[in-house]
Amino acid sequence: MTTLLNSRAGRRLALRQIRPRRSPAVPLVLLSWAGAAAVLSLWWFNTPNVTGNAAWLNGAGRLSGLLAGYVLALVVLQMARVPALERRVGSDRVARWHAMSGRYALCLILAHVGLIIAGYATQGGISFVEQTETMVLTFPDMLEATIGTVTLVVIGLISAGMVRRRLPYEVWYYLHLLTYAAVFLTFWHQLSNGAEFVGDMTAQTAWYVLYGVVSALAIWYRLLVPLRLNMRHRMKVEAVVQEAPGIVSVLIKGRKLHRIGAEAGQFFRWRFLAPGLRWGSHPYSLSAPPRPNLLRITVKAVGGGSTRLADLKPGTRIWAEGPYGAMTASRRSQGKVLMIAGGAGITPIRALFETLPGKGGDLTLLYRARTVEDLALWGELKQIATERDARLLYAVNGPDGARPEISAERLRALLPDIDEHDVYLCGPPGLTEHAYEALHDAGVPDRRIHHESFEL
């Protein structure tokens, strides 16, 4: 076991970050709806009196197409890993927004295609199939748009929960990146065929600006910022340490790592340039506060990629992206803090346990695991608890395999004033969902339960 303790710099950084702030989620949602309203007004002012079935079908098709184009721009923005979203809103919430926007976009695209073809077919008195062939082969930029639309539909289908869970992460990841190409292919037909854009330079300019901004953000934060980070810090594996059965820590060396600006509770997306690992990029949390020349992650073997980390050799080059995540000291609003961790969720919690400022008795950590042997980093946690006069508790299965219940009654018995605590929560979905409900029943409001899932 390797021990990394006494991060006074990390504690000072955490203290500076603690300041009540409003979540930017609400204004961002309102801004998104304002954009949708602007798109609706673009359609409204360019639509004459609608009479007849064909006009109604075409009008509905145009509106659904405009909204689909707007939502696709949001999809790209939510994939761009913009720090203002990733760090303040939270990576898991942005991922949920992205999944929801993708579903809306796919439904709008399918509605647009069906309605427009039906409208033109009705207007021309020809069959749906004949009109489809005519549009694809003769309308400007429609062949490219068709390829992009089919690609988006395929991506939407493989992103569905049941299919996604059956695919290897790397396969899903690289297929998902085709979204960029699909959006590019569908973009041009909007300007060359859309009634709202043909001959209207103001509308065209606004659409170019919208897509130009989100494209620039994606290129900057997905390509250029990671390139600069890795060229500047040149991270390599320093050592791999067994912490518990199936759990290893990877010590990472680099140049001037303190200038990355990472905080306890955050994570990076790591790509280890070793056989069998170089094509996979996985999110792993820092399991200790950042040091000037050292970072550490602690990983549980749950798949092929995480299992291979135990075989990493010192000197292996690393490509990293980040830091990401909003589960940091800046979310804290109360003097007292409860931390609940389960399984590999102990990694960001352990870093916070060391750095969150607090007086004696202000910090409590409850660690859930199957067995005592599965309590990774337990020696470090005990030492931190002793030095900080913090409470450290664990809950493991009984000899018969019975799982200890985390209920509102037990939480109130543990901390009678639990409703006056901030709570940091990280672990497997089953644990976090159950603990979330128990915390609610115990009187802890939503705004003081800080949780982030890195599986999305």
How large a percentage of the chain has pLDDT more than 90? 55
**d(C-alpha 331, C-alpha 450), whole Å:** 7
Overall average pLDDT of the 32-53 stretch: 88
Q: Per residue in 348-369, pLDDT tens? A: 999 999 999 888 789 999 999 8
Q: Is the pLDDT of residue 431 over 60?
A: yes
Q: Per residue in 86-115, pLDDT tens? A: 777 778 788 888 889 999 999 999 999 999
Q: Is the pLDDT of residue 447 over 70?
A: yes
Q: Per residue in 367-400, pLDDT tens? A: 998 888 888 899 999 999 999 999 999 988 887 7
Contact predicate 363/339, CB 8 Å: yes
Q: Per-residue confidence at 326, pLDDT binned at 50, 70, 90?
A: confident
- Higher confidence at residue 164 or residue 196? 196
Residue 14 confidence (pLDDT): 46
Strand partners, 321: 269
| Single pTM value for the model | 0.81
Residue 306 confidence (pLDDT): 77
**d(C-alpha 241, C-alpha 405), whole Å:** 32
Mean pLDDT, the chain, integer: 87
Q: Is the pLDDT of residue 264 over 70?
A: yes
Strand partners, 118: none
Q: Per-residue confidence at 3, pLDDT binned at 50, 70, 90?
A: low
Residue 304 confidence (pLDDT): 65
Q: Is the pLDDT of residue 405 over 60?
A: yes
**d(C-alpha 227, C-alpha 181), whole Å:** 21
Overall average pLDDT of the 323-351 stretch: 89
Contact predicate 320/270, CB 8 Å: yes
Q: Is the pLDDT of residue 78 over 60?
A: yes
Tokens describing residue 281? 């990029």
What separation in angstroms does the CA of 274 have from each of 230, 277, 422? 16, 5, 40
Residue 418 confidence (pLDDT): 92
Q: Per-residue confidence at 335, pLDDT binned at 50, 70, 90?
A: confident
* Nearest Cα residue to 243 out of 71, 434, 90, 376: 376
Overall average pLDDT of the 123-148 stretch: 94
- Higher confidence at residue 442 or residue 168? 442
Structural domains of the chain sorted by starting position, each given as residue range(s) with its CATH number in brackets: 25-228 (1.20.120), 234-324 (2.40.30.10), 329-451 (3.40.50.80)
Overall average pLDDT of the 185-196 stretch: 92
Residue showing tokens 């309590």: 375
Contact predicate 341/282, CB 8 Å: no
Strand partners, 421: 336
Strand partners, 424: 339, 450
Q: Is the pLDDT of residue 424 over 70?
A: yes
Overall average pLDDT of the 292-321 stretch: 88
Overall average pLDDT of the 14-34 stretch: 64
Residue 21 confidence (pLDDT): 44
- Higher confidence at residue 305 or residue 371? 371
Q: Following DSSP, what letter does each residue of 303-353 receive, concatenated? A: SHHHHHGGGPPTT-BEEEEEEE-S-SGGG--SSEEEEEEEGGGHHHHHHHH
**Helices assigned H by DSSP within 376-428:** 378-388, 408-414
Residue 443 confidence (pLDDT): 92
Strand partners, 324: 267
Tokens describing residue 285? 């949390």
**d(C-alpha 348, C-alpha 286), whole Å:** 6
**d(C-alpha 324, C-alpha 340), whole Å:** 20
Q: Per-residue confidence at 20, pLDDT binned at 50, 70, 90?
A: very low
Q: Per residue in 156-184, pLDDT tens? A: 888 876 677 777 777 777 888 899 999 99
